[in-house]
């Protein structure tokens, strides 16, 4: 077995795994939580595999259904929406950044129900409004809008909701 230095930690030598060892570790890596192909590909390169071996292991993982990008997109979008209450814009940006296909992104975005989406936006705005000490209504609205837009909600939705709330 060869060892190589990890680029992030030049003092820690790492072992190069065989393809079968890497396959097992990658399967465990994917079983722990949903992963994209790129995340797994990066992990396989960290294990010291060469390009052909990486693609071989990756195709095996896809065949065995350890990796499914549509399933990843649904889990990611649903989770970020329900748990972190992100808006569609931010979720969409993150999914694109992960390199998913438009089809997978569309399937992931379909996990967000419109009624719940509007409810989360209203809850964010009400919570943040209660925290603000600003007296001036225009400044208060601007701060609330900036906050909600940062969370990933569309500006026109935010302003419409603000006008009904305040």
HSE at residue 103, side-chain half, CA atoms within 13 A, is: 4
Contact present, 80 and 117 (Cβ < 8 Å)? no
Per-residue confidence (pLDDT) for residue 105, from 0 to 100:
96
Question: What pLDDT does residue 19 have?
Answer: 86
Label the pairing between strands 3-6 and 9-15. Answer: antiparallel
- Are residues 104 and 70 in contact, defined by beta-carbon separation less than 8 angstroms? yes
Low-confidence ranges of the chain (pLDDT < 50): 1-6, 9
Complete DSSP assignment for 98-129: TT--HHHHHHHHTTS-HHHHHHHHHHHHHHHH
Residue range 3-63 in CATH 1.10.10: yes
Question: Residue 154 burial by CB count (10 A; 0-12/13-18/19+): exposed, middle or buried?
Answer: middle
User: Quick one: pLDDT at residue 14?
Assistant: 65
**Token reading at 77:** 């979008």
Please tell me the predicted confidence (pLDDT) of residue 134: 87
Write out pLDDT tens, residues 2-22: 444 445 545 555 678 888 899
Tokens of 155: 């500006």
């Amino acid at each position: 077995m060869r060892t190589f230095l990890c680029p992030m930690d030049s003092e820690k030598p790492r072992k190069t795994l065989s393809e079968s060892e890497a396959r097992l570790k990658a399967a465990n890596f994917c079983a722990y939580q949903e992963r994209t192909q790129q995340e797994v590909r990066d992990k396989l390169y960290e294990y010291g595999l060469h390009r052909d071996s990486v693609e071989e292991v990756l195709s095996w993982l896809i065949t065995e259904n350890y990796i499914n990008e549509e399933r990843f997109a649904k889990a990611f979008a649903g989770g970020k929406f329900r748990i972190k209450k992100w808006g569609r814009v931010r979720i969409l940006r993150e999914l694109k950044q992960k390199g998913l296909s438009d089809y997978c992104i569309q399937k992931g975005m379909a996990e967000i129900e419109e009624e719940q989406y509007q409810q989360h936006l209203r809850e964010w705005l009400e919570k943040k409004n209660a925290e603000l000490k600003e007296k001036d209504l225009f400044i208060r609205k601007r701060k609330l809008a900036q906050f909600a837009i940062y969370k990933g909600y569309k500006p026109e939705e935010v302003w419409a909701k603000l006008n009904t709330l305040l």
